Amino acid sequence: MGLILMCALFCVGSLNFVDLVLYQCYVFFIVPFLPLFLMFLVSILAETNRAPFDLPEAESELVSGFNVEYSSMGFALFFLAEYGSIIAMSLLTVLLFLGGWLSIQFSWFFLIEPFVLAFKTSFILFFFYLSSCFFPALSCGPINAFMLKNFFTNGFRVRYFNFQYYFFLTVFFKKFSFNDDKH
């Protein structure tokens, strides 16, 4: 997941989320980085232990795992933290690839921006909930085979293409900067 983040951040040249979103005012990063976006969605499913990557829950289903160990408030805090991480990953996805609070038509009407951000984040949250419905629960073997044979090898090919894209942007076009001190 870190290498996917680096590809998007290298194109912007800043670690500031405001610069990252404003850099996408003409085209969202989902358009040139569609394979990275799909890989990032798979990575955040695995990071948040959602299906089909719910191996910590699947291994403990025989005795119900954390459902037995934690009682009332501990159990509630455990699930609040889990769903809080899902919301945080959805928000990070929106900021990285979907243009954050920017709408399709760039407007300076600032009252609608939080609603645009909430709508895009809820769209990614809807993907999380649909993934638990459509993806079957797998054992460790098929998941490891998928990650080693497909995800990593194709991931390095996609990252190589994106670094070539970044080189093309920086060499042949003037890099657009939002901060005055970078000139």
Q: Encode pLDDT of 26-82 as tens digits.
A: 888 898 888 889 888 988 888 887 777 776 665 555 555 666 676 778 778 888 888
pTM of the model: 0.75
| Cβ contact 90:121 at 8 Å | yes
- Hey, where are the domains in the chain? 2-176
Helix 2-12 vs helix 34-47: crossing angle, to nearest 10 = 140
Q: Encode pLDDT of 150-176 as tens digits.
A: 777 776 677 666 666 666 666 555 555
How far apart, in whole angstroms, are the C-alpha atoms of residue 52 and residue 42?
10
